Amino acid sequence: MAKKPAARAEFVLFDVLYEDGSRRSNRRVPGTAVGGLDGDEPARAIIEQQDREIAEKSGQPPLRIKSLHRTGARSK
């Protein structure tokens, strides 16, 4: 008997530009969190939370996000 396909976790990738000029590419955000009426704005809160966790583990202060956009999307 064939197995049922496993549910895949869908992610949306974002490129993040920080105020100090550094850039991080392909930051993963759950696809269920973005879209809808708020568009991509919930992704900022999720990425900021990820940054706080990374900063806590590394002992460095978290960086402030200047802008973010979907990976592969053209900037305005």
How much is the pLDDT for 17? 96
How much is the pLDDT for 38? 79
The CB-side HSE value for 26 (13 A sphere, CA atoms) comes to 0
Q: What is the mean pLDDT of residues 49-53?
A: 95
Termini Cα distance of the chain: 51
Of 35 and 57, the one with more pLDDT: 57
Please state the pTM of the whole predicted model.
0.78
Looking at 1-76, list the stretches that DSSP marks H as alpha helix, in order from N- to C-terminal side.
41-58
pLDDT tens track for 1-45: 677 766 666 899 999 999 999 999 999 999 888 877 778 889 999
Residue 67 host element (H or E): strand 65-70
Residue 34 in tokens = 């973005």
Backbone angles phi, psi at 39, to 5 degrees: 65, -130
